[in-house]
Amino acid sequence: MSLFSEKKSFFGRLSEKISDVVMLRSAVDEDLMDELEEVLITSDIGMDTTMHIMEELRSHIKNQNITSPEGVTDALKDIMIKIVDKGDRQKLSEESPLIILVIGINGGGKTTTIGKLAHKCKKQGKTVMLAAADTFRAAAAEQLVIWGQRNNVNVIKHQEGADPSAVIYDAVQSAKAKDIDILICDTAGRLQNKKNLMTELEKMNRIIDREFPEAARETLLILDATTGKNAVSQAKEFGQVADLTGIVLTKLDGTAKGGIAITIADEFDMPIKYIGVGEGIEDLKDFVPEEFIGGIFNE
């Protein structure tokens, strides 16, 4: 059974709506198109992405001479898969050493995701170290230390309020000395002050470039799927201050507004690398386009 087939979830609701529209129509006409368009817009997919999907759908119907509503459903599924599938960019870099900067607003699941990602990397046989460079949020380092203990990995931290880049510097030196495969760095999520955040991230990146130029790099943005359109706004804002390589969608269970995955992949051409589907340490899953979209169509 798909991870996303719960009837109360975004996937279940959207699946039911699409099925209702298709089953009530005996012909492929503009009425069917209008109803499908309305379903997508009201499912938190967003106007621009919906227009893109509908344009592609009309083209498919014309070029493939689709005459049955069931054929429309198949075409719609294929279009959505194509939008969210970013190929090789979907995967985390397999190069070693690898430094991962993790950014996102406080409360979005950033620290928890780092803990789960550390677990996932260790299961793959990698050595992992964590850097607590979110020094402005009370208890952020302590939370990361707890995850470090759960995963049996070292955490580099300074006192609260310390210079985040100093933490990164020390973490890089330690990772080099210990020949660590993956260094995962927590960073501050103060999006309300973009200039400070940009300056902070630039300084971190300069230190990594100078001290560890041979390391591969990833910058992952953590987005809370339950916030819907607000998460899309965050993707835009953070994309202006950081060179993002991928998205992690958290809290994608229950009634999460999963349509943002389609919108973000479309509007920003951004790969979604992982999805968080629960609270457990194993609940960070690789993003698989066919499985994700299949969940919408009850597959």
Distance CA 13, CA 36 (A): 14
Q: Which two tokens stand for residue 116?
A: 């789960």
Q: Residue 92 pLDDT more than 50?
A: yes
Helices 10-23 and 30-41: crossing angle in degrees, nearest 10, is: 170
In the three-class reduction of DSSP (H, G, I as helix; E, B as strand; rest coil), residue 168 is classed as helix
3-state helix/strand/coil string of 219-270: EEEEEEHHHCHHHHHHHHHHHHHCCCCEEEEECCCCCCCCHHHHHHHHHCCC
CATH second-level architecture of 94-244? Answer: 3-Layer(aba) Sandwich (3.40)
* Backbone angle region of 255, left / alpha / beta, with phi > 0 → left and psi within -120 to 50 → alpha: alpha
Rounded Cα–Cα distance for residues 12 and 4 (Å): 8
166 burial level (CB within 10 Å; 0-12, 13-18, 19+): middle
pLDDT tens sequence across 144-173: 999 999 999 999 999 988 999 999 999 999
Mean pLDDT of 67-79: 91
Query: Rounded to two decimals, what is the model's pTM?
Result: 0.91
Nearest CA to 132 among 106, 113, 160? 160
The fold of 10-87 is Four Helix Bundle (Hemerythrin (Met), subunit A) (1.20.120)
209 beta partners: none
Query: Start-end ranges of CATH 3.40.50.300 in the chain?
Result: 94-244
pLDDT digits (tens, 9 = 90+) for 197-244: 888 999 999 999 999 999 999 999 999 988 888 888 899 989 988 899
The boundaries of every CATH 1.20.120.140 domain in the chain are 10-87
CB atoms within 10 A of CB 282: 11
Whether the Cβ atoms of residue 277 and residue 251 lie closer than 8 Å to each other: no
Neighbouring CB atoms inside 10 A of 7's CB total 10
Would you list the DSSP string of 175-210? HHHTT-SEEEEEE---TTSHHHHHHHHHHHHHHHHH
Q: What percent of the chain has pLDDT over 90?
A: 64
207 versus 139: the higher-pLDDT residue is: 207
Higher pLDDT, 255 or 161: 161
Confidence at 192, pLDDT banded by 50, 70, 90: low
- Degrees to nearest 5, angle at CA 280 with 279 and 282: 130
Checking if the pLDDT of 58 tops 50, the result is yes
